[in-house]
């Protein structure tokens, strides 16, 4: 079992921003990655639609002998983590916007959260605010269209820049000095966000923390792999040529992307 792979999935290529931290944290593990790009963005879908996709992707990864799952998507975690954990007995690590570290980091007392509508409207996010958002002002921003920019590999295009600024400027005007990147696609826009905010905001995402949590969980379960460096396999439900281009650009391990079988 220990040499079995770890399954990682996202609505698309965004979860590769988590996979790179997993690779650093767990160099011996074999990794499986599914980009559900044919169904991205998840942000505008109903929780039921996201649950159905998450269930199919989890079953596919279990069929590939995954010993643990990482839901490398804030939106899918909000909609489906509870259901997947109730159904499957293996370690399942999800992710959520980093409200707690952001509340600790802000000096102005104003935190901006960039995320999808699915995440920001979820009960999980309301609970996060309740638990960790006390004593600071949390301004949220649904970022329609940003996931699509990253899916197209347009990380620095003028249209991406304009869209980002439209979302960030109001938060900066509100006094936010800390921005939470609450969607796994957004860390790929970090250089552009840093340029646009001109060093006036601390950017926080949870990729590294999720990788550390994954390591703790597989060690607790006695599932850690040993031996040589692990490999990785990649699938996309979207166009394979486009997937190969973008995933190869975002992740140097993604040298071969396979079509995801119909689920």
53 contacts ligand DGL (rule: CB under 6 A): no
Which residues, at least 6 apart from 109, have a Cβ–Cβ distance to it below 8 Å?
135, 136, 137, 175
Reading the block at residue 171, the tokens are 């938060």
70 contacts ligand DGL (rule: CB under 6 A): no
Among 9, 33, 42, 188, binds ligand DGL (CB under 6 A): 42
187 contacts ligand DGL (rule: CB under 6 A): no
Closest distance to ligand DGL from the beta carbon of 91 (Å)? 19
Select from 253, 235, 246, 244 the least CA-distant residue to 7: 235
Closest distance to ligand DGL from the beta carbon of 42 (Å)? 4
33 contacts ligand DGL (rule: CB under 6 A): no
197 contacts ligand DGL (rule: CB under 6 A): no
201 contacts ligand DGL (rule: CB under 6 A): no
* Pairwise CA distance, residues 94 & 73, whole Å: 7
Q: Count of residues binding ligand DGL (CB under 6 A)?
A: 17
116 contacts ligand DGL (rule: CB under 6 A): yes
119 contacts ligand DGL (rule: CB under 6 A): yes
Could you give the C-alpha distances from 127 to 75, 119, 147, 257, in angstroms and in order? 15, 12, 24, 37
73 noted as active-site residue: yes
Q: Cite the DSSP H helix spans in 64-140.
A: 74-87, 99-105, 117-120, 123-132
Select from 183, 186, 180 the least CA-distant residue to 43: 183
Residue 263 DSSP SS3: coil
Length of the chain: 263
Residue 245 DSSP SS3: helix
Q: Which stretch binds ligand DGL (CB under 6 A): 5-13, 62-70, 130-138, 153-161?
A: 5-13
When the beta carbons of 10 and 29 are compared against ligand DGL, the nearer one is: 10
Find out whether 205 and 180 touch, Cβ atoms under 8 Å. yes
149 noted as active-site residue: no
250 contacts ligand DGL (rule: CB under 6 A): no
| Site residues for ligand DGL per CB under 6 A | 10-12, 14, 40-43, 73-75, 116, 119, 147, 183-185
Report the catalytic residues: 73, 183
């Amino acid at each position: 079992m220990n040499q079995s792979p770890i399954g990682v999935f996202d609505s698309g290529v965004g979860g590769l921003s988590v996979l790179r931290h997993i690779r650093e944290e767990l160099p011996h593990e074999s990794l499986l990655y599914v980009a559900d790009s044919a169904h991205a963005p998840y942000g505008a879908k109903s929780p039921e639609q996201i649950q159905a996709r998450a269930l199919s992707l989890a079953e596919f990864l279990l069929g590939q002998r995954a010993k643990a799952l990482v839901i490398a998507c804030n939106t899918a975690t909000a909609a489906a983590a509870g259901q997947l954990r109730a159904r499957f007995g293996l370690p399942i690590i999800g992710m959520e916007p980093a409200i707690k570290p952001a509340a600790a980091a802000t000096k102005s007392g104003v935190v901006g959260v960039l995320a999808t509508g699915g995440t920001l409207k979820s009960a999980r996010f309301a609970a996060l605010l309740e638990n960790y958002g006390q004593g600071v002002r949390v301004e949220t921003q649904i970022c329609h269209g940003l996931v699509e920019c990253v899916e197209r590999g347009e990380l620095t295009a003028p249209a991406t820049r304009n869209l980002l600024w439209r979302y960030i400027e109001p938060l900066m005007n509100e006094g936010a000095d800390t921005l939470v990147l609450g969607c796994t696609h957004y860390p790929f826009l970090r250089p552009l966000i840093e340029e646009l905010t001109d060093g006036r905001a601390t950017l926080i995402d949870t990729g590294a923390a999720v990788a550390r949590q994954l390591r703790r969980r597989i060690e607790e379960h006695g599932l850690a792999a040993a031996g040589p460096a692990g490999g990785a396999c990649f699938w996309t439900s979207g166009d394979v040529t486009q997937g190969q281009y973008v995933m190869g650009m975002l992740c140097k391990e993604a040298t071969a992307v396979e079509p995801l079988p119909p689920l």
